Structure 1
């Protein structure tokens, strides 16, 4: 049996899912604009690498580790880490910001989401970096897996969780 889809079916589907389609298109649009702006002006954001390295060095020194920070480079117990853009949580923040801005709610709720979400993402990112540094020192063979697969996935999940918390606690 051949299934037939008409233009009317497509327009009905679009009409029934207008809000979801609008959110997805706005989300993609915001992500694209913010990523392009970041890459165009990335030199102006390089201070984030140094700040992240300094905070990481401070946190690691609290545990008694011998840590040296030089710009965006962190050295501890024979392990050298270079903090790059991807280590600063900027890309997770762009995705989160795009979700917030694309969602249909008032400006004050969006500001609350940004004000609480960005620090939460940065804190989670710092936990990620501390764990990666400890893994790099204690189990160098596991570092690449934990860095590339485990924490990348976990961080994406946290971006979604923080956005869902915002939806549940602030928007609704």
Structure 2
């Protein structure tokens, strides 16, 4: 367990450091965040054609209310935590890659739900928006990471040491 924890912290530290560098921000994080804004707006436009997206912002044209998807709101940090945990576990690479891919999809699906609900909540009540943004959704996204990781652990093949001991 200590080995997992140390490896997890080292990988997480390396990935968070890389994410904060200007080249990674410019080449990956900013374009990804803009695509999340566009996808969120597209999903909302299926039911409400008065919504537009530009850069990392989603705006309601009628009310003028807008949300900006910033660092910490794009799901990148939650994905880093999940990837670091999966890389720190002793597991076959095939299982790690499948877990990271499906985990990324699960986190981003939850994050899209988060962005859209916050977009509408903010138009209704700013206090409720702030509370949901800072507390409820932060906890739910990290709970999503934990649940995905725990489900992934259940599907790992049995380790040879455990099979030999039985």
Q: Give TM-score, length-normalised by structure 1.
A: 0.85
Unaligned ranges ≥5, structure 1: 1-19
1:34-71 CA-to-partner distances (Å, cap 9, x unmatched) read 00111112222210111011011011112225101111
1:84-134 CA-to-partner distances (Å, cap 9, x unmatched) read 122210000000000000011111111111121111111111011111111
Aligned pair 1:68/2:52, yes or no?
A: yes
Q: Cα gap change, 1:114/1:171 in structure 2, threshold over 3 Å: closer, same or farther?
A: farther
More off after superposition, 108-117 vs 144-153: 108-117
Aligned pair 1:42/2:39, yes or no?
A: no
Aligned pair 1:86/2:72, yes or no?
A: yes
- Say if 2:82 and 2:145, in contact at 8 Å, map to a contact too: yes
- 2:97 corresponds, among 108, 111, 118, to 111
Residue in 1 aligned with 2:152? 166
Aligned pair 1:29/2:7, yes or no?
A: no
- Counterpart CA distance in 2 for 1:171 and 1:33 is 28
Aligned pair 1:127/2:110, yes or no?
A: no
Residue in 2 aligned with 1:55? 39
For the pair shown, which has the larger CA radius of gyration, 1 or 2? 1
Q: Give TM-score, length-normalised by structure 2.
A: 0.87
- State the 1:171 CA deviation: 4.2
Backbone CA RMSD of aligned residues: 1.2
Unaligned ranges ≥5, structure 2: 159-166
Q: State the 4+ residue runs in structure 1 displaced beyond 3 angstroms.
A: none
- Say if 1:57 and 1:68, in contact at 8 Å, map to a contact too: yes
- Say if 1:26 and 1:102, in contact at 8 Å, map to a contact too: yes
Aligned positions, number: 153
Trace 1:144-155 onto structure 2 (pairs within 5 A).
Answer: 144-155=130-141
